[in-house]
Amino acid sequence: MKQKIFPATLISFLFFAVSCNAQQTNLSVDEFEKAIAQKNIQLLDVRTPGEYQSGHLKNTLQADWNNPAEFKERVKALDKSKPVYTYCLSGARSNAATKWLIQNGFTAYNLQGGITAWKSAGKPVEGLTPVKQISMKEYLEKIPQDKTVLVDFSAVWCPPCKAMEPVIDSLEHQYGNKFLIVKIDGGTQTGICKELNVEAFPTFLLYKNGKETWRKQGMATTKEFLSVL
């Protein structure tokens, strides 16, 4: 009789353990706030860019869960050794994103109730203040005719852009006397991005003699940059 009961008991125990583990991925507002105050964490807003600009948590990266291709491309730049804390408007999209992240090797947690619950609890939210848009004339003035210029279109909330920062900084430090690096915040300078057909971040444009000679969307290696510079 004991041999028949033991497997059933074991299965029940495992089911309970898995259920508890699944529930622990959903954190209350206070639990979430305490968790993201730690060092070496990654905070991910899985709403649309428009929603993000209407108000977001401090130091948040952004990847739209409703855009599967964009989401998967951006999370490639996240560090699997660091936990990811996700949120959306009410918690549904970020819950789905959390499950996907866990299935793909990340440690991830979801803000239960989303940013709506966060605001209701009186927690701080940052909004993007209006930024003066640069004109095409002002943009071209940043590109001297007599220099090789690498323009870096990035956004502060873009995971691949964050991952590219050490590469760009290294290029500037080692070879800055040979070419000029111009950085444009594509997250706020939406007008010039539209004019230049910059549709994703990061995007790199190379100019020689004032003319665009090369363009790369997405991450690139130092070797790739040097081959065209």
Q: Containing domain of residue 60, as a range? A: 20-120
Residue 41: CATH number of its domain: 3.40.250.10
- Is residue 198 included in any domain, yes or no? yes
**For the whole model, what pTM was predicted?**
0.73
161 is an active site residue: yes
pLDDT on residue 7: 54
Residues 113 and 172 in one domain: no
CA 129 to CA 53: how far, in whole Å? 9
Residues 144 and 189 in one domain: yes
pLDDT on residue 19: 39
- Is residue 98 included in any domain, yes or no? yes
- Is residue 13 included in any domain, yes or no? no
Beta bridge partners of 181: 150
- Is residue 5 included in any domain, yes or no? no
Do residues 206 and 228 touch, judged by C-beta distance below 8 A? yes
Q: One-letter amino acid identity for 70?
A: E
- Is residue 4 included in any domain, yes or no? no
Q: What ranges in the chain are assigned the alpha helix state H?
A: 2-23, 29-36, 49-53, 68-75, 92-103, 114-120, 136-141, 159-175, 190-195, 222-228
- Count how many domains the chain has: 2
pLDDT tens by residue, 109-168: 999 999 989 998 999 999 866 788 999 999 999 999 999 999 999 988 889 999 999 999
pLDDT tens by residue, 154-175: 988 889 999 999 999 999 999 9
Pick the catalytic residue from 20, 88, 161, 193: 161
Residues 145 and 214 in one domain: yes
Residue 223: CATH number of its domain: 3.40.30.10
- Is residue 130 included in any domain, yes or no? no
Domain boundary among 120, 153, 174: 120
Contacts of 183 (CB under 8 A, 6+ apart): 151, 152, 154, 168
pLDDT tens by residue, 24-49: 699 999 999 999 999 999 999 999 98
- Is residue 206 included in any domain, yes or no? yes
- Is residue 131 included in any domain, yes or no? no
CA 225 to CA 228: how far, in whole Å? 6
Do residues 29 and 118 touch, judged by C-beta distance below 8 A? yes
Residues 63 and 141 in one domain: no
Residues 141 and 109 in one domain: no
Residues 32 and 109 in one domain: yes
